[in-house]
């Protein structure tokens, strides 16, 4: 069964507008972490934001925020004021068993974001 689902293979957004990239996850572990990574065409993986399952508040990092809805098992990434440099592949990822020593990180299939000028 897919543990991380990203239903949007590709998305377009106008420069300076906000965009939401969807991510749903499946786990029975109460202790887990959710991540978003950006992969530009150059290939490197860039860490964007992290949300822990016990965190009470939604994570924010500059123009990135994570809309964490635990009951719905969703962890959507919101990018505000999109820039041309935001055009890239975005991966949602999850690491289970944070309190029991789990290190395995599972990635979703990714969403390719295109920012239009």
Partner 1 sequence: AAGVIQSPRHLIKEKRETATLKCYPIPRHDTVYWYQQGPGQDPQFLISFYEKMQSDKGSIPDRFSAQQFSDYHSELNMSSLELGDSALYFCASSLGGRSYEQYFGPGTRLTVT
**Closer to partner 1 by Cβ: residue 7 or 14:** 7
Question: Which DSSP letter does residue 84 get?
Answer: G
Helix (H/G/I), strand (E/B), else coil: 86: helix
Binding string, residues 30-49; x marks residues near partner 1 by CB under 8 A: ---x-x-x-----xxxxx--
Distance CA 37, CA 76 (A): 12
Binding flag, residue 17, partner 1 (CB under 8 A): no
Measured over the CA atoms of residue 25, residue 2, residue 10 and residue 8, the dihedral's sign is: negative
What's the closest the beta carbon of residue 43 comes to partner 1, in angstroms? 6
Sites of contact with partner 1 (CB under 8 A): 33, 35, 37, 43-47, 50, 52, 91, 95, 98, 101-110
């Amino acid at each position: 069964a897919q543990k991380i689902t990203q239903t949007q293979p590709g998305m377009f957004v106008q420069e300076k507008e906000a965009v939401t990239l969807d991510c749903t996850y499946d786990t029975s572990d109460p202790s887990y972490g959710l991540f978003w990574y950006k992969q530009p065409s150059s290939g490197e993986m860039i860490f964007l934001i992290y949300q822990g399952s016990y965190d009470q508040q939604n994570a924010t990092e500059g123009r990135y925020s994570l809309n964490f809805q635990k009951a719905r098992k969703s962890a959507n990434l919101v990018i505000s004021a999109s820039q041309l440099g935001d055009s890239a592949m975005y991966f949602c990822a999850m690491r289970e068993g944070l309190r029991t020593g789990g290190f395995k990180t599972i990635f979703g299939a990714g969403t390719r974001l295109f920012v239009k000028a």
